[in-house]
């Protein structure tokens, strides 16, 4: 079980690429070099850990390796290999002295753009890689359509996915904050043949993390904490004293803390009915050694967001669950959002269903999820409530100061939020997959929640996004 998505993991290593420069006569030679780098990378990716290790040592710059060591890069590779399977190069989009962009197709039928940033010298060493969802090339060239035609196309796609039993959940498309498409598919409970509805509650997975971030920002505004504060200031009994003294709130927010994950052997061996509070999760990881020196690299950490939840409780004098309900859900009008306990009957809540392969039967995910979600993930919401949340966030309703959201994300305080692009948030685990994408095309937002395994919701959002971008 993991409250993580490929896109979230890769947000820790994005680079801004300038592809507008012209490099004239060197382009031909550069294309040959680029082809060699891409082909070598594809071969290494499709081989094994040893092959990728050799590629990294041969092709990544020494400065980049110092910033993110081999072990960390291999951990990301293993996650990508697990999520994508093998990959196939379909097109080299652009090349320059500082950048290579290529489109790849995965074994699981997905499309990604791999962008390699190169050093500015003559060695053509890699200093960074960005991986992002993209549309199937043929679709990006399709004819433009009207909004009504696009919505019909979305409905047709979702009907087909449901017929193939590859999607179950609720879908909402909004334009400028107003719903224009809202439908539900599949079953919330297979045992009693109960259908999903547009207001059915689904598990959020890691989407809960954005609520945790906002709560930290609010407490910062209230003067109850500082981003530079170490863990020990709020949790003096934290088992790993070294971590408590070195790791700051900023490290936890940026996932640069070195704090590990609560998923692992201890989690697997713990009866899930014992995991009902933020404190219940701490023994899963809090005594472990740091994975790296805080601030030296980044690695996705559910454990770090558990610690943030515990800090919220100490700073606010409320339980994490009460804090987010009072300060985030209620102000936004999110009446169907909470971290419901698994053994308390909740009306209109979808069971999660998971299976190992297409020819295996669906099973409830009751043995892989905690009895209650946490500050790292696992709460519940609806597509309608998530739209209310996005509208409130975009209006700045959660903060007293206009620059708090930028500061919280580690961006310049005076950055113009109106000029920023859209936001993509995903969460997934067995029987859980939810996602939000904003500012698609001409002001559209897509929200998909599913009670099937990933990538049910992510695939749907990807397809819906490509359709919405084709609206004339």
Q: Are 342 and 366 a contacting pair, CB within 8 Å?
A: yes
C-alpha to C-alpha distances, 460 to 150, 155, 161, 384, nearest whole angstrom: 14, 11, 9, 17
Distance (Å, whole) CA 32 – CA 36: 6
Fold agreement (147-202+340-373+379-396+419-468, 208-320) = yes
Q: Is 423 exposed, middle or buried (0-12, 13-18, 19+ CB in 10 A)?
A: middle
pLDDT per residue as tens digits for the range 375-386? 999 999 999 999
CATH topology of domain 208-320: Beta-lactamase (3.40.710)
pLDDT per residue as tens digits for the range 217-226? 999 999 999 9
What is the CATH superfamily name and number for domain 147-202+340-373+379-396+419-468? Answer: DD-peptidase/beta-lactamase superfamily (3.40.710.10)
Q: What angle do CA 457, 263, 306 make, to 5 degrees?
A: 85
Torsion, Cα 144 150 153 154, to 10 degrees, reads: 130
Q: Are 274 and 314 a contacting pair, CB within 8 Å?
A: no
Q: Which of 424, 454, 437, 384 is nearest to 170 (CA)?
A: 384
Distance (Å, whole) CA 14 – CA 128: 8
Beta bridge partners of 175: 178, 444
Q: Which of 425, 433, 436 is nearest to 209 (CA)?
A: 425
Sorting pLDDT into bands at 50, 70 and 90, what band is 420? low
- Give the per-residue pLDDT at 15: 28
Q: What are phi and psi of 376, to 5 degrees?
A: -95, -20
Sorting pLDDT into bands at 50, 70 and 90, what band is 239? very high
pLDDT per residue as tens digits for the range 1-58? 444 343 333 333 332 222 222 223 334 466 777 888 999 999 999 999 999 999 999 9
What is the residue extent of each domain of the chain? 6-134, 147-202+340-373+379-396+419-468, 208-320
What is the model's pTM? Answer: 0.78
C-alpha count within 13 angstroms, C-beta hemisphere, residue 210: 19
Contacts of 134 (CB under 8 A, 6+ apart): 103, 111, 112, 113
Nearest-10 crossing angle of helices 27-46, 49-59: 150
- Token pair 């959940």: residue: 169
Contacts of 112 (CB under 8 A, 6+ apart): 84, 87, 103, 104, 106, 131, 132, 133, 134
Q: What angle do CA 311, 314, 315 make, to 5 degrees?
A: 85
Sorting pLDDT into bands at 50, 70 and 90, what band is 402? confident
> In this structure, what token pair is assigned to residue 219?
């407490």
What CATH number is given for 6-134 in this structure?
A: 3.10.450.50
- Give the per-residue pLDDT at 101: 87
> In this structure, what token pair is assigned to residue 246?
């070195």
What is the chain's mean pLDDT, rounded?
Answer: 88
């Amino acid at each position: 079980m993991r409250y993580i998505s490929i896109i979230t993991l890769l947000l820790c290593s994005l680079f801004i690429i300038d592809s507008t420069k012209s490099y004239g006569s060197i382009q031909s030679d550069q294309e040959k070099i680029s082809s060699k780098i891409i082909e070598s990378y594809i071969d290494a990716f499709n081989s094994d850990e040893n092959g990728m290790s050799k590629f990294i040592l041969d092709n990544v710059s020494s400065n980049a390796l110092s910033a993110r060591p081999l072990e960390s890069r291999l951990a990301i590779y293993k996650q990508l290999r697990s999520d994508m399977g093998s990959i196939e190069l379909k097109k080299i989009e652009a090349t320059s002295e500082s950048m290579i962009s290529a489109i790849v197709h995965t074994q699981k039928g997905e499309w990604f753009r791999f962008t390699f940033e190169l050093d500015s010298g003559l060695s053509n060493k890699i200093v960074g890689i960005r991986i992002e969802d993209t549309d199937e090339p043929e679709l990006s060239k399709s004819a433009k359509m009207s909004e009504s035609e696009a919505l019909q196309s979305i409905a047709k796609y979702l009907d087909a996915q449901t017929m193939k039993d590859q999607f179950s959940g609720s879908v909402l498309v909004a334009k400028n904050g107003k719903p224009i498409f809202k439908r539900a598919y599949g079953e919330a409970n297979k045992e009693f043949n109960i259908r999903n509805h547009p207001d059915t509650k689904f598990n959020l997975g890691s989407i809960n993390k954005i609520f945790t971030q906002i709560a930290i920002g609010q407490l910062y505004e209230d003067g109850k904490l500082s981003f530079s504060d170490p863990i020990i200031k709020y949790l003096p009994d934290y088992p790993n004293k070294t971590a408590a003294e070195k790791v700051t709130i900023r490290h936890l927010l940026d996932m640069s803390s070195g704090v590990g994950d609560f998923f692992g052997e201890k989690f697997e061996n713990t009866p899930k009915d014992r995991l009902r509070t933020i404190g219940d999760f701490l023994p899963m990881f809090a005594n472990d050694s740091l994975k790296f020196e805080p601030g030296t690299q980044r690695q996705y950490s559910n454990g770090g967001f558990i610690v943030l939840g515990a800090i919220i409780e100490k700073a606010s004098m409320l339980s994490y669950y009460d804090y987010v309900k009072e300060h985030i859900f209620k102000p936004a009008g999110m009446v169907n959002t909470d971290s419901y306990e698994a053994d308390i009957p909740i009306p209109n809540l979808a069971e999660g269903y998971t299976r190992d392969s297409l020819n295996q039967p669906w099973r409830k995910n009751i043995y892989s999820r905690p009895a209650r979600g946490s500050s790292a993930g696992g709460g519940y919401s609806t597509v309608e409530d998530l739209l209310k949340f996005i509208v409130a966030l975009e209006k700045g309703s959660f903060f007293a100061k206009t620059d708090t959201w930028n500061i919280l994300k580690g961006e310049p305080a005076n950055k113009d939020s109106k000029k920023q692009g859209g936001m993509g948030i995903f969460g997934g685990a067995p029987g859980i997959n939810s996602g939000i994408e904003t500012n698609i095309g001409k002001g559209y937002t897509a929200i998909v929640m599913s009670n099937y395994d990933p990538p049910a919701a992510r695939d749907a959002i990807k397809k819906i996004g490509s359709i919405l971008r084709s609206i004339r």
